């Protein structure tokens, strides 16, 4: 790899100072970096060159998710440098950035393909919206402390009816995100499966489900036990975009044909990363 593009979170890299320093370092090693660093703080206002070998993202996991969703039709791997807190998706941090880059330039890295989700918002037979997620699709309420009612179907068969704050459908990559904070299991990120985890359920159905990535998952929003005309419901895709829902609407979730390619250093396993992050 010798052609790079750098994108940084403008809230964590003021004035792109760290991006500029990294560009200078990479070019001192004889590699090429696109002229101007791009901003990931408030959206993508740039076009990544087609001949780019690697997108370097400076930020945290949220910045990585934003990059992954916007690279959905490209096969460019993403190398994350963590400027935030946990950074499960990143390969290094700001203190080890130069060492991380040197290992990449030396070929001591691997590309992991991570599965993504495609969610469709359905009202009757009409598809109102579709979106992708690398971490998770979550159905919940916005402006109330009341629980909501959701029916879970798998491959067209009704499975559970949940009374909860919401439900998370997660990929293995997303298992260390919202799924983990709601008591769901941690899964090796290259595994080929899907997770269903209720958020604060008011029933005995409080365990996560592990399903095949080939399953079709459908969440139907049911009328609330105590209807509130002011109550709002939404489906969130990686916590970024959302679809406003109403009782009777459904979110259908399948494994997307797209994948996210994440660059990892050869000498750093997921278990090593997990051990370090869980002891912070």
What CATH number corresponds to the domain at position 145?
Answer: 2.60.200.30
Q: Give yes or no: residues 171 and 102 share one domain.
A: no
Query: CA angle at residue 4 from 25 to 95, to 5 degrees?
Result: 45
Q: Give yes or no: residues 87 and 167 share one domain.
A: no
Would residue 61 show up in a list of annotated catalytic residues for this protein?
yes
| C-alpha closest to that of 216 among 163, 261, 159, 139 | 159
Query: How confident is the prediction along the chain (280 residues), in pLDDT tens digits per residue?
Result: 889 999 988 888 888 899 999 999 999 999 999 876 666 554 454 578 888 999 999 998 988 998 898 887 788 999 999 997 767 899 989 899 999 999 999 999 999 999 999 999 999 999 999 999 999 999 998 877 788 999 999 999 999 999 999 999 999 999 999 999 999 999 999 999 999 999 999 877 678 999 999 999 999 999 987 777 778 999 999 998 899 999 999 999 999 999 999 999 987 777 887 777 776 5
Question: Out of 13, 35, 51, 61, which one is annotated catalytic?
Answer: 61
pTM: 0.90
Q: Give yes or no: residues 15 and 95 share one domain.
A: yes
71 in Cβ contact with 50 (< 8 Å):
no
Q: Give yes or no: residues 128 and 251 share one domain.
A: yes
Runs of H (alpha helix) within the chain: 17-28, 61-70, 97-105, 178-181, 270-278
Alpha carbons 43 and 38: distance in angstroms, whole number: 10
Domain extent for 45: 3-107
Q: Give yes or no: residues 146 and 177 share one domain.
A: yes
Q: Give yes or no: residues 71 and 172 share one domain.
A: no
162 in Cβ contact with 149 (< 8 Å):
yes
Q: Give yes or no: residues 243 and 138 share one domain.
A: yes
**First and final C-alpha spacing in the chain:** 32
């Amino acid at each position: 790899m010798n052609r790079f593009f750098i994108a940084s979170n403008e809230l964590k890299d003021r004035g792109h100072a760290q991006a500029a320093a990294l560009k200078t370092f990479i070019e001192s090693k004889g590699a090429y970096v696109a002229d101007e660093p791009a901003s990931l703080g408030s959206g993508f206002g740039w076009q990544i060159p087609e001949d780019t070998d690697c997108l370097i993202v400076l930020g945290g996991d949220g910045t990585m998710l934003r990059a992954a969703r916007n690279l959905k039709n490209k096969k460019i791997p993403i190398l994350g440098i963590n400027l935030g807190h946990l950074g499960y998706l990143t390969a290094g941090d700001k203190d080890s950035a130069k060492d991380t880059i040197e290992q990449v330039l030396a070929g001591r890295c691997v590309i992991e393909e991570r599965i993504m989700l495609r969610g469709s918002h359905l009202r009757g037979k009409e598809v109102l919206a579709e979106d992708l997620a690398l971490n998770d699709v979550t159905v919940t309420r916005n402006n109330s402390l009341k629980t909501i009612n959701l029916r879970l179907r798998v491959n067209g068969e009704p499975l559970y009816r949940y009374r909860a704050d919401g439900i998370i459908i997660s990929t293995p990559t997303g298992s260390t995100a919202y799924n983990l904070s709601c008591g769901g299991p941690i899964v090796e990120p290259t595994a080929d499966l899907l997770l269903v985890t209720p958020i604060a359920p008011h029933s005995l159905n409080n365990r996560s489900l592990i399903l095949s990535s080939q399953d079709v998952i459908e969440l139907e929003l049911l009328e609330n036990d105590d209807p509130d005309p002011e109550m709002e419901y939404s489906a969130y895709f990686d916590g970024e975009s959302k679809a406003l829902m109403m009782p009777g609407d459904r979110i259908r979730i399948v494994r997307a044909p797209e994948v996210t390619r994440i660059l990892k250093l050869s000498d750093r396993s997921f278990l090593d990363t997990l051990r370090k992050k869980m002891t912070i």
